[in-house]
Amino acid sequence: MSQQVNTRVEDTSPVVGSSLWQDAWQRLKKNKLAMLGVVILLIIILVSTFGPLLSSYSYDQINLDRNSEPPSWEHWFGTDQLGRDILVRTLVGGRISLMVGIIATAVSFVIGVTYGAISGYFGGYIDELMMRIVDIIYSLPYLFLVIVLLAFFTKSIFMLFFILGGVSWLTMARIVRGQVLSIKNQEFIEAARAVGVETPMIIFRHVIPNTLGPVIVYTTLTIPSAMLSEAFLSFLGLGVQPPLASWGTMVNDGVEAIAVYPWQLIFPGLLMAVTLFSLNFLGDGLRDALDPQMRKD
Amino acid sequence: MLKLIIRRLLGMIPVLFIIITLTFFLIRLAPGNPFANDKAFPEEVIQALNKQYGLDKPLHIQYFNYITELAKGNLGPSTRYAGKTVNEMIAEHLPTSLALGLIAYGFALILGVSIGIISSLRQNSSLDYLSMAIAMFGISIPSFVLGPLLVIVFSLTLFWLPPARWGEPKHLILPALTLSAIYIAYIARLTRSGMLEVLRADYIRTARAKGLTESVVVLRHALRGGIIPVVSFTGPALTFLLAGTIVVEKIFVIPGLGRIFIEAANSRDYFVVMGLTLFVSILLVIMNLLVDIVIGLLDPRISYK
């Protein structure tokens, strides 16, 4: 630990900061599982984005004569209760679920990490105030927020993103703050302070990179829970409305038909699971790649 | 430490005040009112009911009255269950939620931390990958799928446990397992990453060099630092487990606080919603205080000056 700490404190030129990410990328490239995750994720993103354009069905094309058919050459994933093609619906649904995942990640990364790091680093009354604000936001009854939003604004997918984004950074902020409390009194931070590094620089270049392990792990955990929250909010009427679907709402509907038409649950569920597993491997790879203690090798 | 506790308990007052105020006006903004659903009531009856509960007064007077009552420890009446007070309703259903939540979190802590430690000690082994894959599965599977699945396996196939009853300790097992699955997964992953961070630290090398046994090094030295993310996570997680277990309560027909909240929200039972929100926020603030105390005890470098 002490070795890399010293090098980082001595060179405060920008070169060191950027090399953190370059080093990480070099190490990530060597991690086969993580790279497999990246490739699968890219494929899923591409197929969800462009796949529906290539299909001869559309996600809302109802054909009641052919409802709940098992997978066949015409409908690879089978059809749902209204005879809609499940493959196209799953792909279109993937766009929404991926979007939800990206938004939740972005918000919890940008707001949650910065907020938590500032709160933990400054400590004292600033910490007190910032964490109590988090408590207040956390305590509000979201069900009512949803009802009120639905009453005053037109239903839209942006409302869903707004709510999910608003909640997703709170626990992240608390976790980062907890880490920072223990990091900020370590020698290398003291050393950085002693040589006169400015506070924002200390926070962003020295403190935050050392919290990235738990941050990345928690992010890979945020994505599935955001996708499931989306299904719940859509169920309440906020967010994805029929005929549009997301993986979450399709799984939700599929559970009811599990005994009779299992493919209505299996395919969207499977695609969601593959995405989450890939994210998970990528997350672990990133965690290892960014681990400051592993930088020696 | 005592100063921290006193400061935080005093700091609780403005926080709760803000939460009460925001919630009070938020739920009044929502369309509908407590008696709108009962179409059978003639207009005069509804007016009389509003008067009885003080809902006919201007909003700011109602707010003032509510705060005054609250200061006396009175959470107000339920408009849905005539003659019941919110205090009584919480007292009646809290033990159920408390038992369920604590047992679920107990499961989650024991299993999650053990899996996390084992994974971190065997990093990148097949055991590690398997545990983390199971953890990911636990996170991705929603409780409305897992609950019925557990019932099918343990109640309807193996006949080990009752499907949906409440009263005896063994009725707690399936709902607690369903609830804890996602937390086992969270805790396992957070423990693993926390431990990986700590296991290479200098003080662990020192501990090993001193000739301490591996179990002492891992459990007494490494775990202290490695478990901090889990402790931070515990504040919100435990609060949620004690108050927000709506789905599981519905699956297993458990008379807990979550169900009361949903009922109250749907029927605009204003005082019940307020009371429960207040209760949850007090819980959250206290949990987070406990979390800070525990983090401080685990890591002597932390000071809340």
Residue A63 identity: N
> Which residue among A152, A277, A287 sits closest to B193, beta carbon to beta carbon?
A287
What ipTM was estimated for this complex?
Answer: 0.74
Q: Check: pTM over 0.95? Answer yes or no.
A: no
Chain A stretch 93-132, residues whose beta carbon is closer than 8 A to a beta carbon of chain B: 123-124, 127-128, 131-132
Residue for token digits 């370590």? A186
Residue A38 identity: V
In sequence order, what are the residues at sequence separation of 6 or more whose Cβ sits closer than 8 angstroms to the Cβ of residue A284?
A33, A34, A217, A220, B132
**What is the Cα–Cα distance from B46 to B35, expressed in whole angstroms?**
7
Q: Which residues of B touch A137 (CB under 8 A)?
A: none
Kindly report the CATH class assigned to B89-267.
mainly alpha
Put simply, the answer to whether B295 touches A135 (Cβ < 8 Å) is no
* Residue A267, pLDDT score: 80
Dump pLDDT digits (tens) for A160-199. Answer: 888 888 888 888 898 899 889 888 888 888 888 888 888 8
In sequence order, what are the residues at sequence separation of 6 or more whose Cβ sits closer than 8 angstroms to the Cβ of residue A27?
A288, A289, A294
**A276 touching B (Cβ < 8 Å):** yes
Q: Which residues of B touch A209 (CB under 8 A)?
A: none
Give the residue extent of every domain in chain B.
89-267
Q: Nearest CA of chain B to the CA of A23: how many Å?
A: 18
Q: Nearest CA of chain A to the CA of B232: how many Å?
A: 5
The number of C-alpha atoms within 13 Å of A102 and in the hemisphere containing its C-beta is 8
Put simply, the answer to whether A147 touches B280 (Cβ < 8 Å) is no
Q: Nearest CA of chain A to the CA of B29: how many Å?
A: 6
Name the more confident of B3 and B89.
B89
**What is the Cα–Cα distance from B109 to B303, expressed in whole angstroms?**
26
**What is the Cα–Cα distance from B69 to A297, expressed in whole angstroms?**
65
Q: What is the dihedral of CA A276, A277, A283, A287, to 10 degrees?
A: 150
Q: Which residues of B touch A214 (CB under 8 A)?
A: 190, 193-194, 197, 229
**What is the Cα–Cα distance from A214 to A118, expressed in whole angstroms?**
17
Dump pLDDT digits (tens) for B3-39. Answer: 778 887 888 888 888 988 988 888 888 777 777 665 6
Q: Which two tokens stand for residue B284?
A: 């959250």
Domains of chain A: 31-50+73-294 (1.10.3720.10)
Which chain B residue has the Cα nearest residue A227?
A: B140
Q: Which residues of B touch A152 (CB under 8 A)?
A: 29
Put simply, the answer to whether A179 touches B228 (Cβ < 8 Å) is yes
Dump pLDDT digits (tens) for A46-57. Answer: 988 888 777 777
Q: Is B55 helix (H, G, I), strand (E, B) or coil?
A: coil
Alpha helices in A153-211 (DSSP H): 157-183, 187-194, 199-201
Dump pLDDT digits (tens) for A34-80. Answer: 888 889 989 999 988 888 777 777 777 777 777 777 777 777 777 77
**What is the Cα–Cα distance from A61 to A83, expressed in whole angstroms?**
8
